[in-house]
Amino acid sequence: MSEKPIYFDNNDSTAMIEPVFAAMKPYFMEQYGNPASLHQYGLDAEEAVNDARATLTGLIGAQSDELLFTGSATESNNLALFGLTQAAPKNKHHLITSKVEHHAVLNVMKRLVKEGFEVTFLDVDKEGFVDPDDLKKAIRPETLLASIVHGNHVIGTIQDIKALGEVCRENGVLFHTDAAQSFTKVPIDVNDIPVDLISINAHKMHGPKGVGALYVRKGVRFDRLMEGGPQENNRRPGTENVPAIVGMEEAAKIGCANRDKDNAYMIEIRDRLIEKLLEIPHTHLNGPRGDKRMPSNANITFLYIEGEAILMHLSMRGVYVSSGSACSSIALAPSNVLTAIGLVHEEAHGSIRFSFSKLNSLDEVEPAVEHVKQVVDQLRAMSAFIPAEHSEKEGAGKTFYKKKKSEF
Ligand SMILES: *Cc1c(COP(=O)(O)O)cnc(C)c1O
């Protein structure tokens, strides 16, 4: 491939944009003070951090002391869930989450189970939606909190967090949402949506890696997890990453100011790509269509072949995507999100996520689709999964692919 690669993996990370880098730059080598220091350099750094805090909280209608900076959305999720459970009264030992969470929530919940908490993992429908009625039914007197992801990182489902939050509020349950994918793209106003904690990061919205934030509604009790200095209102010790925080502020400002325009642009790319890819035989779309889908996400199952093989072949051709499996050291486990919406293992393994940003272009769709078609043809020609009637290869036809297609 001599041309520029086609980067369709923006749900994993995005490119930082020039104005973000420009905003960060002075804070590396010129304004390098520690925000905790009492001299002018320290005060300047502290002001930069607090300005960023005011900007970010302003974008969600919160007060400026209701947000603390962390090192990632993963840390924000850990801080929210461990922080709340540690501070909770003994009788509040039940938690609720969904089966489509990111591992930074799912694995925290699994650990809390080991520590003695009871956790309800809510089912979702075939498009990935949590039903607010299911949430309501799962709530018990001993329920402390519910944590439901806002914009899904695998299949793009945008949950109705207002309805979910209202169920929690009516029943005295704390509500946390992981908004790492949705922040800037889907508006959140904490005066309108009864959410108590929100996790975000910068690198999914054209900001730097290694910085995140956690919104915590005033009055919510939670314990710090690390011991150290009094930074971040005594809740997250350690010197703040000033350049990254300034970059996060700039990225969020630009993202929110251009929301409608950027979303419309991504949706055009998304829908064109989906339409073209579904012309390939034996494919289906995972997740919803229309405005309940993240503008940045398309997820397609290519039956009878392995997603990892598609990914590798596309990578060699300069098209960068993600597959439906989570690599672990011993096995390729299918994504919890794809199995939660009812895909069998073979389907989950044959699924590819294409994810976009405003830096992509409509002109990339056609060459990307052409590469996918060629790779899929090539892999299917070698595939032992293909039932006889679908295969052009001599001698193929042994099938252990049993799932009926009619559900899709
Ligand atoms: C990327 C992502 C995370 C993890 O964010 P990091 O800042 O990379 O730790 C958590 N949740 C969701 C939904 C994500 O997409």
Query: Would the CB of 213 count as within 6 Å of ligand 1?
Result: no
Catalytic positions are 327
Strand 212-216 and strand 67-70: the pairing is antiparallel
- Rounded to a whole number of angstroms, the distance between the first and last alpha carbons of the chain is 35
pTM: 0.93
What atom of ligand 1 comes closest to residue 151's alpha carbon? Answer: 13
What atom of ligand 1 comes closest to residue 75's alpha carbon? Answer: 9
What atom of ligand 1 comes closest to residue 204's alpha carbon? Answer: 1
Answer whether CATH 3.40.640.10 is correct for domain 18-257: yes
pLDDT per residue of the chain (408 residues) written in tens, 0 to 9 = 457 999 999 999 999 999 999 999 999 999 999 999 999 999 999 999 999 999 999 999 999 999 999 999 999 999 999 999 999 999 999 999 999 999 999 999 999 999 999 999 999 999 999 999 999 999 999 999 999 999 999 999 999 999 999 999 999 999 999 999 999 999 999 999 999 999 999 999 999 999 999 999 999 999 999 999 999 999 999 999 999 999 999 999 999 999 999 999 999 999 999 999 999 999 999 999 999 999 999 999 999 999 999 999 999 999 999 997 655 444 578 899 999 999 998 899 999 999 999 999 999 999 999 999 999 999 999 876 666 555 444 433 333 344 434 332
| Matching CATH number, 6-14+259-390, of 1.10.40.50, 3.90.1150.10, 3.100.10.20, 3.40.50.2300 | 3.90.1150.10
The Cα-based distances of 45 to 28, 37, 115, 212, 357 in angstroms read 11, 9, 39, 18, 31
**Residue with the nearest Cα to atom 2 of ligand 1?**
180
- CATH 3.40.640.10 in the chain is located at 18-257
Distance from Cα 39 to the centre of ligand 1, integer Å: 36
Query: Would the CB of 102 count as within 6 Å of ligand 1?
Result: yes
Query: Would the CB of 181 count as within 6 Å of ligand 1?
Result: yes
Distance from Cα 68 to the centre of ligand 1, integer Å: 17
- CATH 3.90.1150.10 in the chain is located at 6-14+259-390
